[in-house]
Every structure is written in C-alpha cells, then in structure tokens.
Amino acid sequence: MVLGVTAYEAYITDTVDALFRLNPKLLDKFTNELNKGLKWSGISKHGKDAREAAADFLIQKHKALDLRPVKNLFNRLTKIENVFGNAETERDMRRFIEYRHVIVHRGGKVDRKFREVTGSRQGPETYVELTTTFVAEGLELLSSFVGGLQGKLEKLGHGATETEPPQS
C-alpha cells in the first residue's frame, strides 16, 4: 500500500515536471502564484534556472497526495476538468491515500481525520485494519488511474508526451 501510493505520488510529480519541461509556456498560467510565492532563494537553489525553480515551486504547492490541488493543477494545465474522472474515484483514491497516511505518520493508529476521510468506525487510537482485498483493489485503482491519465495526456499531446525518461 505504502509503495503503491508513493509510486502514484512520483508519477504525478514527474508528469507535471515533464509537462512544464515539454511546454515551458504552461508556467505562464501560474503567473500570479509565481509572482507571490517564488523568491530569489527559490531560484538560486536551482542554479538560477528560473523555469526549473518555477516548476519545482508549483509541484511543491500542488502536493500529489492532496487531490483537490492535483485536480485543479491538471485542469489548468490540460483542461481535463476532473483528472480523477468522477467523484467516486476521487473519493476512493482519497480514502486509500488516507490509509497510507495513517500507517506512515501515525504508526497505523486511527485518528479523527482518518475516520472522517475513510468513513471508518474504528475507535480512535486503535490500529487500522486492512484486508488483502482492500489493498489489492486500492492498488488496482491507483494503477488504473495512472494508466488512464497517461492515455489522456498522450491523446491531448498527440504523442508529444515523453515515453522515455530524460537522459541525465
């Protein structure tokens, strides 16, 4: 579960980075945020490459594990209204990510936020209960989402999206 959500997070981050690298003009859609939030210290840590600093700033601002900003980011970048497809998929992904959060950051102990996001009736401070079916279905959900998004991006770019990682 933890590795699956981490893979999703890396995919979102790398995909947004690739979109900015392939079309630097996309950064212009975020002029207001960049004017307000990007300082010289943020630029200088990137070897004074303003585009790289701007892309990194926006990626950090739109964390992959927070689905609302991700949805907004992809809407602005690609005009995909809901990158998750529908409210049910978005809710299921949020729920699965919350399980990862409670495992990684709370040692598996249930808290109020976990109960709210997941709808769990487990008592506070009890250890989260997982089934292999839940984990397998959640991983399939993430995999299906990533495959679907990649397909949409390739269709939008008419094959202009990266298929191989950049050369170092």
Per-residue pLDDT for 166 more than 90? no
Predicted TM-score of the model (pTM): 0.84
Mean pLDDT (whole number) for 36-53: 76
| pLDDT for res 150 | 94
Token representation of residue 103: 């495992």
- Per-residue buried b or exposed e for 42-74, using 16+ beta carbons within 10 Å of the residue's own CB: bbeeeeeeeebbbbbbbbeebebbebeebbebb
Cα→Cα distances 134→71, 80, 96, 141, 153, Å: 24, 28, 9, 10, 28
Secondary structure (3-state) at 149:
helix
Domain ranges of the chain: 2-157
The mean pLDDT of 21-31, rounded to a whole number, is 91
At 53 the pLDDT is 86
Q: What is the pLDDT of residues 47-104, one digit of tens each?
A: 668 888 889 889 999 999 999 999 999 999 999 989 999 999 999 999 999 999 999 9
The burial class, CB within 10 Å (0-12 / 13-18 / 19+), for 141 is middle
pLDDT tens for each residue of 112-149 = 999 999 999 999 999 999 999 999 999 999 999 999 99
Residue 19: Cβ within 10 Å count: 21
Q: Is residue 41 scored above 90 in pLDDT?
A: no
Which residue stretches of 62-158 are H helix?
67-78, 87-106, 112-118, 132-157
pLDDT at residue 46, as a whole number: 66
- pLDDT value of residue 101: 95
